[in-house]
């Protein structure tokens, strides 16, 4: 079978098992597959806008800017370069992603109608087109200040800079961003406003305390005003390209900050040591901090932003979120960018994999496993974990896609190829 024949075939990789049979198999192990589908579909996933254009944004800078340690590699044709193109591409992607979506925008995607508006002067009106568009489609929205790729990033520093002009510029930008998030929240329902900064040093850092003290003070200023329509979160990172030795906003820094200031924490799956997962952090953090925002991503060696896949790491995160019993305090967002493949396909693969992992977690025979654990029956617990791979998951996923009116199996790939031919090829 050749790929093109498979895509043309009626099944194209879809499950043939009748949904009713699958439902019965899950019922035997105490799982209501119907409820799992509903829950998985109703869990909002906040889709990052920056996959569309390799984190370039819509601003024009005359001066050179610092990438802030983010690297989108590759030059696959068809990159979106206007707000309209990003919106069109996302509409395409969204038609192939099952379940409730939100749209996650960065400040660098302001639309100022040709006027130069610096980041510390952004206002909600510069995002009106985005907000109207999300409203029209019934998508919630989230927001992020953009503290990178800008001439005011000096010596790799923003909020933690020792240069008062630099630091106050970024404080004003973050406050302006919270105002935008508030406007979004008031219109579309509470909006997450996630702060990530690139601040750090390449090598042999001597002063590790000073920048952290300045970051703490800057954040306190940024978050000073209570905004009920805004869900504030802070995101740590271990290192970035060119920022290998020291990151001001480390895991410990932000976890303690969030705990003491009562804001949310963001765990990005690609932001820890290569073998360190975030799954086990969820139940620990939730004792002290809420909400927990997940940035679903995939680290590969030095890169923290490969397209999310339905792999062990993602399943572990979703399992823990469901098992914690505090699923409502967990917010789901994606964060990856790959410029070497069709960007819309990257979106679809990444978002579908997260939805799939959520469904997988919701289909765990969790009551039986918990019973075995508390009865000291470790082997039964292991056997139940193994059983998950024997249950007809594909048929339930298929049913989820059917209910959401999106193609199952590989059929969505045909749509992407058509869009590439008809729309993306004109962008070269
Ligand atoms: C960077 C962080 C951050 C960014 C976006 C663009 O390492 O993960 O979330 O990816 O804000
Ligand atoms: Zn992230």
Tokens of 90: 């996302």
- Phi and psi, residue 46, nearest 5°: -90, 110
Summarised one tens digit per residue, pLDDT across range 375-403 is 999 999 999 999 999 999 999 999 999 99
Three-class HEC string of 173-186 = HHHHHHHHHHHHHH
The CATH number linked to 163 is: 3.20.20.150
* Confidence label for 13 from pLDDT (cuts 50, 70 and 90): confident
What residues make up the domain containing 164? 44-88+100-344
Is residue 1 very low, low, confident or very high in pLDDT (cuts 50, 70, 90)? confident
Nearest Cα to 181, choosing from 257, 137, 114, 173?
A: 173
Per-residue pLDDT band for 14 (boundaries 50, 70, 90) equals confident
Cα(173) to centroid(ligand 2), Å: 19
Give residue 61's pLDDT band: very low, low, confident or very high (50, 70, 90): confident
Residue owning the nearest CA to atom 5 of ligand 1: 335
Q: Reply yes or no on whether 305 is catalytic.
A: yes
Cβ atoms < 10 Å from Cβ of 164:
9
pLDDT at 407: 94
Euclidean distance between CA atoms 345 and 55, whole angstroms? 16
Residue 398 lies in a domain: no
Residue 92 CB neighbours (<10 A) = 19
For every residue of 276-318, DSSP letters joined together read --SHHHHHHHTTT---EEEEE-EEETTEEEEPP-SSHHHHHHH
- 383 inside domain: no
What is the tally of structural domains in the chain? 1
325-342 residue pLDDT tens? 999 999 999 999 999 999
On whether residue 245 sits in a domain, the answer given is yes
Whether the per-residue pLDDT at 9 is higher than 80: the answer is no
Mean pLDDT score of the chain:
96
Q: How far apart are CA 54 and CA 63, in angstroms?
A: 19
* Residue 415 resides in a domain: no
- Phi, psi (rounded to 5 degrees) for 333: -140, 160
Q: What percent of the chain has pLDDT over 90?
A: 92
Structural domain contains residue 269: yes
Asked if residue 230 is part of any domain, the answer here is yes
Single out the catalytic residue among 54, 179, 232, 303: 303
Question: Which protein residue has the closest C-alpha to ligand 1 atom 2?
Answer: 196
Instruction: Place 113 in a pLDDT band, splitting at 50, 70 and 90.
Output: very high
Rounded to two decimals, the pTM is 0.97
pLDDT tens-digit series, residues 340-359: 999 999 999 999 999 999 99
Asked if residue 223 belongs to a domain, the reply is yes
CA of 361 to the centre of ligand 2 (A): 22
């Amino acid at each position: 079978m050749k790929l093109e024949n498979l895509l043309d075939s009626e099944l194209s990789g879809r499950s043939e098992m009748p949904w009713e049979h699958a439902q019965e198999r899950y019922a035997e192990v105490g799982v209501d597959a119907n409820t799992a589908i509903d829950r998985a579909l109703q869990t909002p996933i906040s889709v990052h806008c920056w996959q569309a254009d390799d984190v370039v944004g819509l601003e024009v800078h005359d001066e050179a800017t610092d990438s802030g340690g983010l690297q989108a590699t590759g030059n696959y044709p068809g990159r979106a370069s206007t707000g309209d193109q990003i919106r069109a591409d996302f509409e395409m992607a969204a038609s192939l992603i099952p379940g409730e979506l939100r749209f996650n925008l960065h400040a660098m995607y302001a639309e100022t109608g040709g006027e130069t508006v610096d980041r510390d002067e952004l206002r909600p009106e510069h995002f009106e087109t985005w907000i109207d568009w999300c409203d029209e489609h019934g998508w919630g929205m989230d927001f992020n200040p953009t503290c990178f790729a800008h001439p005011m990033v000096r010596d790799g520093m923003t909020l933690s800079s020792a240069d008062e002009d630099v630091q106050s510029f970024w404080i004003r930008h973050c406050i302006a961003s919270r105002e935008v998030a508030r406007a979004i929240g008031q219109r579309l329902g509470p909006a997450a406003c996630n702060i990530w900064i690139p601040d750090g040093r390449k090598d042999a850092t001597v002063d590790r305390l000073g920048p952290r003290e300045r970051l703490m003070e800057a954040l306190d200023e940024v978050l000073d005003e209570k905004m009920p329509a805004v869900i504030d979160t802070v995101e740590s990172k271990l290192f970035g390209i060119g920022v290998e030795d020291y990151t001001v906003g480390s895991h410990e820094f932000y976890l303690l900050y969030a705990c003491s200031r009562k804001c949310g924490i963001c765990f990005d799956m690609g932001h820890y040591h290569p073998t360190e997962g975030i799954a086990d952090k969820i139940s620990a953090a939730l004792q002290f901090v809420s909400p927990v925002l997940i940035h679903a991503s995939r680290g590969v060696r030095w890169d923290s932003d490969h397209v999310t896949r339905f792999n062990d790491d993602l399943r572990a995160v979703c399992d823990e979120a469901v098992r914690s019993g505090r699923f409502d305090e967990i917010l789901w967002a994606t964060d990856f960018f790959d410029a070497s493949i069709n960007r819309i396909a990257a979106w679809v693969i990444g978002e579908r994999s997260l939805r799939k992992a959520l469904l997988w977690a919701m289909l765990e025979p969790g009551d039986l496993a918990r019973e075995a654990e508390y009865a000291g029956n470790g082997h039964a617990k292991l056997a139940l974990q193994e059983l998950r791979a024997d249950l007809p998951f594909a048929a339930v996923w298929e049913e989820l896609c059917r209910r959401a009116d999106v193609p199952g199996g590989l059929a969505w790939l045909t749509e992407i190829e058509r869009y590439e031919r008809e729309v993306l090829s004109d962008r070269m």
